[in-house]
Structure 1
Amino acid sequence: MQQTSNDPLHGKTLKVIVETLVDFYGFDTLAELIPVNCFTNNPSIKSTLTFLRKTDWARKKVEELYVRTLPKLEG
């Protein structure tokens, strides 16, 4: 019997999370929802990933937004 994780982030890389959020919201809306420079000043996936990997509090906010967004993506 295989056990599955109830964690919606299980198996998701930060890159997949960021790309999903950018595809769904766009950088402009992300900057409104989470006001950090990586979303407002010359945003890119690469610069966002670099920032989030160094900044735990911002990564946590992005992960929380992803979890809240999942029902919208599935529905």
Structure 2
Amino acid sequence: MTSPSRDPLHGITLSALLTELVARHGWAGLAQRVPIRCFQHEPSLKSSLAFLRRTPWAREKVEALYLESLGSDR
């Protein structure tokens, strides 16, 4: 039997993570916190997901923001 994952991102899709961040901060707030073009110019969920899936450094920044926001909820 395996122990449950301690990774707070385990089981959370990138789409769900990004959707929650947009709901919390809006695209403009997200662009301020993570200044990448896909959030700043004509943002959409589809284009942002495509960019984040092929750009590891950007995805790490978005995941870090998500984890930070989880900590502020407690």
**TM-score if structure 1 supplies the norm length?**
0.90
CA RMSD of aligned residues (A): 1.3
**Match for residue 5 of structure 2?**
5
Counting matched residue pairs gives 74
**CA–CA distance in structure 2, aligned partners of residues 71 and 54 of structure 1:** 27
**CA–CA distance in structure 2, aligned partners of residues 2 and 50 of structure 1:** 32
Identical-pair percentage: 47
- After TM superposition, the runs of 4+ consecutive aligned structure 1 residues lying more than 4 A away are none
Opposite residue 33 of structure 2, the aligned amino acid is L
**Match for residue 42 of structure 2?**
42
Q: How big is each residue's C-alpha offset from its partner over 1:16-68, in whole Å with a ceiling of 9 and x where there is no partner?
A: 11001001111001100010011000001111001001111000000011111
Consecutive unaligned residues in structure 1, runs of 5 or more: none
Consecutive unaligned residues in structure 2, runs of 5 or more: none
**CA–CA distance in structure 1, aligned partners of residues 36 and 71 of structure 2:** 24
**Match for residue 70 of structure 1?**
70
Opposite residue 11 of structure 1, the aligned amino acid is G
**TM-score if structure 2 supplies the norm length?**
0.91
The structural deviation recorded for 1:71 is 2.7
The structural deviation recorded for 1:6 is 1.4
**CA–CA distance in structure 2, aligned partners of residues 27 and 37 of structure 1:** 11
The structural deviation recorded for 1:3 is 1.8
